Structure 1
Amino acid sequence: MSGTIRSHIKQGLTVDIVLKKDQATGRLTRGIVKDILTNSANHPHGIKVRLQDGQVGRVKAVITNSEGEA
């Protein structure tokens, strides 16, 4: 699933995000969504979320059960 549509993102989902400091390299960080920070229905660069460990970034991919979601 795409990370650009807010309705696809729910608390508790496992996602890959790009942190602000990693935007130049595109390095992904995997975590579980704690809060959804973007208010609009979609965003071309990804919905901004806060992970359970406190990191904030834009969702690049939603991890499905077949990809290893717990």
Structure 2
Amino acid sequence: MNGQNRKDITAGSKVNIVLKADQRTGKLTTGVVKDILTNSSNHPHGIKVRLEDGQVGRVKEILN
């Protein structure tokens, strides 16, 4: 499932995100969502989240 719809993502979801520094390469980082930072219901580049380890990026894939 892609990460463009806010309703599909909840705190505790395991996701793949792209960090700001990795946007050019598209390198994915796996983690567990702590906070959802995007306020709108959807976003074409993915919903921005903060992972439990503090990293921030846009969700590209929801794993569970």
> Do both proteins adopt the same fold according to a TM-score greater than 0.5, normalized to the shorter chain?
yes
Unaligned segments of structure 2, at least 5 residues: none
Compute the TM-score of the two structures, normalised by the length of structure 1: 0.90
Q: How many residues align?
A: 64
2:60 is equivalent to residue 57 of structure 1: no
User: Which entry has the higher C-alpha Rg, 1 or 2?
Assistant: 1
Runs ≥4 in structure 1, deviation > 4 angstroms? none
Tell me the TM-score normalized by structure 2.
0.98
Seq. identity, %: 67
Q: Distance in 1 between matches of 2:13 and 2:5?
A: 14
SS at match of 2:21: helix
Alignment partners' CA distance in 2, 1:28 and 1:38: 19
Q: Give the SS at the match of 2:57.
A: strand
Residue matched to 2:38: 38
Structure 1, gaps ≥5 residues long: 65-70
Instruction: Tell me the distance in 1 between the aligned counterparts of 2:28 and 2:39.
Output: 22
